[in-house]
Chain A
Amino acid sequence: MTAYIIRRLLQMIPLIFGVTFLTFALINLIPGSPVARLRDNPKIRPEAAIELERQLGLDKPWPERYVRWLGDLAHGDLGVSLYNRLPVADRIWAVIPNTLLLAVLALTLALLIAVPLGVYSAVRHGSLFDRSASVGAVAMYAMPDFWLALLLVIFFALKFREWGFPSLPVGGMVDPRSGGGFLDRVQHLILPVLALAMVQIGSWSAFFRSSMLETLSQDYVRTAEGKGLPSRTILYVHAFKNAFLPLITIVGLALPGLLGGAFFIEVIFAWPGMGRLTFEAVGRRDYTMIMATTLMFSVLTMVSNLIADVLYAVLDPRIRLEDGA
């Protein structure tokens, strides 16, 4: 097991090289420079923009800059933002808790709803509940999360206000007028967490339902039924554990997506997290920031995959981890 983990960790290194190289190349090939924004200010003479480019090292060809970036990385230096020349690491450090908060809450909510939904659908297989739940799940899974987010905003914020009900906020983490107390924060969390969780609920409940169904048709379950065990025991003690296993992989794979890729949700809800940071960095051609968040995201993805695989092996004695597992 240890050997396997070490092997996987070592395999990450060439992967990181590849991802960062590709990213660096791509963002530098997109037309537009980080100093283009200075053109909007007539009090800044354009020579200043050219000088700024030189100061930021942008006058060197991008392969050279990539090597320099790697060198800095080896020293643990992620560089400074090309927007405000403040350390990128500080900024990322500051926003990660916000993204984590959303991700953990969304994950919890999704599991709390998807698991019982899936179990109940499997147990009541073929019933009206099962069929409507399946349709609902597919519908939710098919919906783009940003569209769903916008719908939530229109309904629970704008329409509610129009109809005279207390409305939920459209974005941000706190309301500056009320000072950001606990209730205020909760209010601001409801819609983004819901939006982030809903798509997962769709796919996870469907997946869990089929996993549960498959487990329930296994011989050992029939044996247990034959032995006269109460169905509740069968369900929760025997079947559930086994049906639950594949969910670990699914959740493990979804985690990076929740953490770094919730771009749209964070942008729509003005949530100051990693996704929004990356989104704004791309618009500003803030190369250093983009590289740092991409790096974080890649490492997160790889580590989550590794943890999911290891966890799966730990829980399921049938699995033998091999190369390429």
Chain B
Amino acid sequence: MRGYRPRSIGWLATVLLVATTLVAPWPALAQDATPQVSGEPVKSLTREEFTTQVVEGLGYTEAATPGGTFIDSNIADIQTMHPFLAEEEVSIGVVGLVFEQLVGSDVRTGQPAPTGLADSWEIASDGVTYTFHLNKEAKWHDGVDVTADDVQFSFDALANPDTGSVYTGTFLDSVASWRAIDDDTFEVVAKEPLFTLLYDLVAYIVPKHIWESVPVADWRNDPGATGADPSRVIGSGPFKFQEWRQGESITLGRNDDYYGKVPYIDSYVLRVWPDQTAVVNALLNNEIDAAGLEPSDIAGVEGAPGIQVTHYPTRGFTYYEFNLDPEVTTKWQDQRVRQAMLYALDRESIVNDILLGYAEVAQGTQPVVSYVYAPDRITTKYTYDPEKAKSLLAEAGWTDSDGDGVVDKDGESLSFELLYSAGSPTSDQLVAYMQDAWSDIGVQATPRALEFPALIEATTTDPSFEIALYGFNWDATFIQDAMFGCDQYQVGFNDMKYCNPELDEINDQAKRTFDEETRRELLIQASNIVNDEQPVAVLHFSQAHAAFSDRLQNYIPSTWGVDLSYVWIQQ
């Protein structure tokens, strides 16, 4: 193997670890096997405590004029009204207003919150036993009480592969057993003491009395899933299903009998549009009340009467990934080459000139909204330094021996295609800049835009790529093993075929750490490893943009969503 130092250290670490295991199994591993809990059960906030915190924290106002219809927008229609079968974000968004999970999520941080069917929960000191206390007043939209029986039924169905849910795999991997303790108490035992359980679990609760008579394999076509029969689309959430006009809109009405915060608005309509231009036009024409914006839309919308534009940090980052599989290309095997590529980019300029300031130059891999965000703790700063880039390349043996302006080594030029997803003017500008900046250090990149499915094929299914530019959104755990784990090649987001067992160890330990402070330290370490080794180069932490009617109150778009129960319309 060519001088790829981190890999040999990782290999050594693995050998040592294995050796230790053989020599003295349990004592040596005892430190890692027991959960990093303080030995006491972890107790969640109660629904009341949490709600007070959020309302005060976000400054929600009471509705002066309740009622009205809030018209939201999206590109792409929902697939289904059944929570187990909803794969797309838009479907989950709508389904999540009608149905509930045991545990909700905090719109401020994306972390599990007592806003679902559970008023509160405890995690026992073993780190695997979760006890949920269901709200006693919760009712289905048809008036029937919600009980632990429904939870039992839902979990059973989710665990059944015949249901055809894409969440079954994760569920069966994480959960060992589940049972109703009494009408209002439910216990879930996880397979391993990982703090990620509540984050990973997508377990919506569906009414047993509606679904038990239908074989799970037929759920998809049932009128309760297609919306053809609204009386069968019964959830327990703050909104009731009214109508789904395929390709046009989904209409939900307020649930006046909701046990939690009853929404102020009368109804919520999601209108479906075929593309972003239509969305922006509809917003400007007052046909919708809210829309997501691309950076190129901002100028056209800002200043329009009655419309407010807002920007917020996202839980994602923009990055490019190297193909580290020597069978595809050997260009990126040397860490110095990978580092040189990032030193050659003026990321400050990218953020200011291309993104118009709506982003932050990335230090490390943890975005601004992450609890692990710690730019001052990142040891290697890739400040724009093309001279350093050139010298790193030279050190690694890349020089322009044939005088064609492109560096080469052993007869191979540092010339490649830069793949990226088509359809975004901002991305087009970005890759044009990257091409330019890299040519200054003798690296020749040829940008190539691909439609998203084609890009996926070239980088994941059939990885023939050399470099690809992507965006990625992280979940609220911010553990990044899905992208950097050795076993995530082709099955996860590790398109690069990167492998660092030491990093895997750290991420695994982080998963087992319930204490956020300790976990944070581990993840900062992980971030530094990736930052140094550059299997991917994180460019910036971008912001997202949204525009909405200024009649909307308590509407705070964020990367974790919006709590529609508090939104009201100024009449």
Which A residues are within 8 Å of any B CB, using their own CB? Answer: 30-34, 36-52, 55, 83-87, 91, 94-95, 153, 157-158, 161, 167, 169-177, 267-270, 272, 276-277, 279-280, 283-285
Contacts and interface: CB of A to CB of B under 8 A. Distances in A.
Contact of B278 (A44, A170, A177): A170
Contact of A161 (B245, B285, B450): B285
Contacts of B167: 43-44, 48
Contacts of A272: 245-248
B453 A267 contact: no
B285 A169 contact: yes
B210 to A, nearest CB: 19
Interface of B: 69, 71, 76, 79-80, 87-89, 92, 164, 166-170, 173, 200, 202, 220-221, 226, 245-249, 251, 269, 271-275, 277-278, 281-282, 284-287, 450-458, 460-461, 473-475, 482, 490-493
Contacts of B287: 169-172, 175
Contacts of A49: 166
B43 to A, nearest CB: 25
Contacts of B286: 161
A145 B493 CA distance: 41
B89 A31 contact: no
Nearest to A168: B285
Nearest to A98: B247
7 contacts: A31-B454, A32-B457, A34-B453, A36-B453, A39-B493, A157-B281, A172-B287
Nearest to B170: A45
A172 B92 CA distance: 23
B105 to A, nearest CB: 12
Nearest to A44: B166
Contacts of B269: 176
A153 B87 CA distance: 34
Contacts of A55: 164
Contact of B169 (A48, A95, A276): A48
A81 to B, nearest CB: 9
B453 A45 contact: no
A170 B249 contact: no
Contacts of B278: 170-171, 267-270
Given A270-B278, A272-B246, A38 B87 contact: yes
B453 A37 contact: yes
A42 B89 contact: no
B230 to A, nearest CB: 16
A48 B163 CA distance: 13
A42 B456 contact: no
Nearest to A175: B287
Given A276-B247, A280-B274, A153 B284 contact: no
B281 A267 contact: no
A203 to B, nearest CB: 27
Nearest to A173: B248
A279 B460 CA distance: 25
B247 A42 contact: no
B475 to A, nearest CB: 5
B164 A31 contact: no
A31 B453 contact: yes
Nearest to B275: A267
A42 B274 CA distance: 24
A95 B474 CA distance: 37
Task: Enumerate the 10 nearest inter-chain pairs by beta-carbon distance, A residue then B residue, closest first.
Answer: A32-B453, A272-B247, A36-B453, A31-B454, A84-B79, A36-B456, A48-B166, A32-B454, A176-B269, A170-B281
Contacts of A47: 169, 491
A32 B456 contact: yes
Contacts of B271: 172, 176
Contacts of A95: 246-247
Nearest to A154: B281
Contacts of A284: 453
A174 B269 CA distance: 12
Contacts of B273: 171, 270
Contacts of A174: 248
B95 to A, nearest CB: 13
Contacts of B79: 83-84
A32 B89 contact: no
